[in-house]
Amino acid sequence: MPATKTKKFTPEIDAKLYDELVAVAEQNGQTKRHVLEQALKFYLHSVVPSQHLVRPGVMDAFEQSVAHNRDLLQRLAK
């Protein structure tokens, strides 16, 4: 079986997030690469598609409603 093609990249990320990545990898006996690849797969295949489930017009109406009722929503939150 041929080896998986890889690409090298060096992103700068939040230091606390990186520490969490390292801790999870160590706790699970996994490499940082494996944890990062799994997180990217989940985000790209689960989160991104779900962001497009609501029609843009519905989101526009929702945002207008929130803006119009901001004072009421803030009082209810208290």
**Which tens digits make up the pLDDT trace of 6-37?**
999 898 999 999 999 999 999 999 999 999 99
**Averaged pLDDT of the chain:** 89
Residues 32, 17: Cα–Cα separation, whole Å: 12
Residues 45, 38: Cα–Cα separation, whole Å: 10
Domain ranges of the chain: 15-77
Residues 73 and 66 sit within 8 Å (Cβ to Cβ): yes
Q: Nearest-5° angle of CA 54, CA 56, CA 62?
A: 80
What pLDDT is stored for residue 2 in this prediction?
67
What pLDDT is stored for residue 29 in this prediction?
97
Residues 28 and 35 sit within 8 Å (Cβ to Cβ): yes
Residues 30, 24: Cα–Cα separation, whole Å: 8
What pLDDT is stored for residue 57 in this prediction?
84
Q: What percent of the chain has pLDDT over 70?
A: 97
